[in-house]
Structure 1
Amino acid sequence: MNYRTFPPHPDLKALVKCYWTLEVPAEKETKKQRIIPDGCIEMAFILGDDIKRYTSGADFILQPRAMVLGQTIAPFYIEPTGYVNSFAIRFYPYGFANFVSVPVKNLANKETPLSSLFGKTVSEELEQKIVQATNTVERIAIIEKFLLSRLTGEATIDRIVKTTVDMLFSEGGSLAIKTIFKGDLSKRRQLERKFLKHIGISPKQLGKVIRLQAALKMVIRQQSGSLTKIAYESDYYDQAHFIKDFKEFTGTNPKDFLKDAEMALSSLFYAKE
């Protein structure tokens, strides 16, 4: 697997986390890969062969070749049908809402074709340019021109949403939302509504994803062989709580994670963070 990341233009760095590419040679026997939540929304272009997204058991759909992957709160399976070649834009949790008029909560837990968000003509023209580009540098230039054209002025990031997200990341997802408003239920509900509008999931759900990310990185980098220590450093109540959340978001337990062939792609993504 060849996975690479690239920084965004300075005018987009408040909204775009990075661009990334992935190339995987075709194999005779393809394997499912379990993709786990990362708290971000992504716009992706499939440049190689089709990719299956499993909906349940043996049932699957083919992912749109130009799409937006909304927030997810549970793992899902994909499987290449041959050569993998993808180009994608990873937005910060509050980033993508600045480029569309639809509530991002409508994008959660599914892939949405670009044509449903930007119109058929605009989307097809953008996809054609991305596909015909000869390298990643050209693709980045094309997508940045498109994204900058979608911003009518300075990005209108909701201040309290960005502040809360930044606090969640700085605290490793363990921030108790109620502490921000000191028990003011009306302000808490207002924040939850804004999160659904700008991010697509609740503050509590995003916090759980961020906290799991911190724990996953420890497991991948093998900073500690003790699950109790990882749980403690990730601010879980105890090891049982850590394992429960780990299984919920990854579909496996921490001890089996690194040995699970279905987690190879997710492990690669997290190792490069």
Structure 2
Amino acid sequence: MHHLDYEIRPPAAALAGVVESFWRLQTGAAVDRPIRLLPDGRLDVLFAYSRTEPLHATLMGLGTEAEQVTLAAETVMYAVSLRLPAAEYLLHTKVADIVNGVQALPPGFWGITAADLADFNQFCTTLNATLPTLLSPSMDPRKQRLFARIYATDGALPVHELAAEAGWSSRQINRYFQEYFGVSLKTYCAILRFRASFPQLKAGRLFPEQDFTDQAHFIREVRKFAGARPKDLARNEDDRFIQFSAWPPL
């Protein structure tokens, strides 16, 4: 990515159900950089500082639309990208009220200090050791089955099939999703399908491959979540779609 240093690591196996990845982002530019954040189906705990801001921690809720933001010059950001079960079983909180928003976290959250943001290996090692101690001892088996299928299929299955496989009614699932995450299961699956199209778009393939009804449906969904047409997202001028730039190609 232009003027951005980016690195990503998987979590320890014990965290795989709630943590998707650890990542580090650092700007080398001397000026602020405009970027567009895309919905990607994740919650993010961010630890960051810049030339003008001291270390601070924030929790980023689910995104349902593209957001134009400015990445400050000389930003150092370390983060933990979370799967949805982390809200209930790791963070022990609901995130419905921060859809398309953020929440400030207390200083020293998860024991992370400025020193931990000097060494990505140390950051990952620290959290791989700390986070398992914060996990609830057990997860509702219905939720385990539900999330396993959602993530294994990148949101491709309809709600009624997911409900049947989880042994949980569609109405109860949607009540849970709205209460904890602020979106319906159908919307969340649509976001995951959109995200799953990143590698194919990076490869220049501008047709649907993730269970979209047709080309028009694909274009409509990309425009809804990215605020841009598939060909514009694929072109990604100046790496302004930051998650798209960081996503590994096929």
Amino acid at match of 1:9: A
How far apart are 1:8 and its partner, in Å? 1.6
Amino acid at match of 1:96: A
Q: Within 5 Å, which residues of 2 pair with 1:37-76?
A: 37-49=39-51, 65-76=56-67
Residue ranges of structure 2 left out of the alignment (5+ in a row)? none
Q: Within 5 Å, which residues of 2 pair with 1:191-206?
A: 191-206=173-188
Is contact 1:2-1:22 (8 Å) kept? yes
Do the aligned partners of residues 239 and 130 (structure 1) sit closer, same or farther apart at CA in structure 2, a change above 3 Å counting?
same
Is contact 1:68-1:114 (8 Å) kept? yes
Aligned to 1:24: 27
Render the CA deviation track for 1:44-100: whole Å, top value 9, x for unaligned: 11133468xxxxxxxxxxx99211111111111221221121100011122232123
Do the aligned partners of residues 259 and 10 (structure 1) sit closer, same or farther apart at CA in structure 2, a change above 3 Å counting?
closer
CA distance in 2 between partners of 1:99 and 1:127 (Å)? 11
- The size of the alignment, in residue pairs, is 242
Is contact 2:27-2:74 (8 Å) kept? yes
How far apart are 1:11 and its partner, in Å? 2.4
Q: CA RMSD in A?
A: 2.7
Q: Is 2:225 the counterpart of 1:270? A: no
For 1:77, what is the secondary structure of its paired residue? strand
Do the aligned partners of residues 249 and 164 (structure 1) sit closer, same or farther apart at CA in structure 2, a change above 3 Å counting?
same
How far apart are 1:18 and its partner, in Å? 1.2
Q: Which of 85, 97, 104 lines up with 1:106 in the alignment?
A: 97
Do the aligned partners of residues 47 and 270 (structure 1) sit closer, same or farther apart at CA in structure 2, a change above 3 Å counting?
same
Amino acid at match of 1:47: Y
Aligned to 1:240: 216
Residue ranges of structure 1 left out of the alignment (5+ in a row)? 52-62, 116-123
How far apart are 1:128 and its partner, in Å? 7.5
Q: Which of 6, 9, 21 lines up with 2:9 in the alignment?
A: 6
Is contact 2:239-2:245 (8 Å) kept? no
Amino acid at match of 2:246: F
TM-score (normalised: structure 2): 0.84
Is contact 2:43-2:82 (8 Å) kept? yes
Amino acid at match of 2:154: G
Aligned to 1:55: none
TM-score (normalised: structure 1): 0.78
Do the aligned partners of residues 5 and 110 (structure 1) sit closer, same or farther apart at CA in structure 2, a change above 3 Å counting?
same
Do the aligned partners of residues 72 and 175 (structure 1) sit closer, same or farther apart at CA in structure 2, a change above 3 Å counting?
same
Amino acid at match of 2:16: K
CA distance in 2 between partners of 1:99 and 1:256 (Å)? 37
Aligned to 1:131: 114
CA distance in 2 between partners of 1:200 and 1:12 (Å)? 24
How far apart are 1:248 and its partner, in Å? 0.7
Do the aligned partners of residues 166 and 110 (structure 1) sit closer, same or farther apart at CA in structure 2, a change above 3 Å counting?
same
How far apart are 1:112 and its partner, in Å? 0.6
Q: Within 5 Å, which residues of 2 pair with 1:46-195?
A: 46-49=48-51, 65-115=56-106, 124-126=107-109, 129-133=112-116, 134-151=118-135, 153-154=136-137, 156-181=138-163, 187-195=169-177
Is contact 1:21-1:87 (8 Å) kept? yes
Do the aligned partners of residues 109 and 162 (structure 1) sit closer, same or farther apart at CA in structure 2, a change above 3 Å counting?
farther
How far apart are 1:181 and its partner, in Å? 4.5
CA distance in 1 between partners of 2:113 and 2:192 (Å)? 31
Amino acid at match of 2:102: E
Amino acid at match of 1:48: S
Do the aligned partners of residues 201 and 269 (structure 1) sit closer, same or farther apart at CA in structure 2, a change above 3 Å counting?
farther
CA distance in 2 between partners of 1:181 and 1:140 (Å)? 35
Render the CA deviation track for 1:106-144: whole Å, top value 9, x for unaligned: 3322111112xxxxxxxx234874312341122223334
Amino acid at match of 1:212: F
